[in-house]
Amino acid sequence: MAAIEIVIASTSELPAAQRFYECRGYGGAPIRNRDYVVLARLQERIVGIGRLTEEDGLLWLRGMQVDPQFQRSGVGTRILQRLSQEIGDRRCCCLPYTHLVTFYRQAGFVQATDLPSGLAGRLADYVSRSLPVVAMVRPEQSRPDSLNLASGGYRAHQ
């Protein structure tokens, strides 16, 4: 069997990535061109996805999805590792299902109670729909002044 590769999606791959979400029943916001999308591909077939997006002044890790046939094979961990590299030193939040808390902890996310309004609002919405989710934040990492680089925004990948 061919190896699964973890790649940054090009702009031309975003429609296929959105179709993968739809096939998985993911009900989150659609992918935007400025999102940072990571794909797990087996040859040309998408078998996993995750993305980073900026909303309400917050960096969000959203939409981690892995084809059930490839769950528990390390695909999700590899996607999370690639997204974690892109997050770098910045603060990032996510709203994972409660059974995935340990999974997200491996990337430095911790359960949070003092929530920014954008995160608190989305959490309240999900909980009101009986979704078993929790708020998690990966805290901003301080750097020595000599390494204080600009955070850099997202860009469409060509």
Element of type H or E holding 158:
none
Give the chain's domains with CATH numbers.
4-147 (3.40.630.30)
pTM of the model: 0.85
CA–CA separation, 94 and 92 (whole Å): 7
| Greatest alpha-carbon span in the chain | 47
CA–CA separation, 40 and 72 (whole Å): 14
Please name the amino acid found at residue 154: Y
Q: Could you tell me if 60 and 32 are in contact, meaning their C-beta atoms sit under 8 angstroms apart?
A: no
Q: How many CB atoms lie within 10 A of CB 125?
A: 12
CA–CA separation, 53 and 92 (whole Å): 10
Q: Encode the chain (158 residues) as per-residue pLDDT tens digits.
A: 579 999 999 999 999 999 999 999 988 889 999 999 999 999 999 999 999 999 878 899 999 999 999 998 999 999 999 999 999 999 999 999 999 999 999 999 999 988 888 889 989 999 999 999 999 999 998 654 433 333 334 433 43
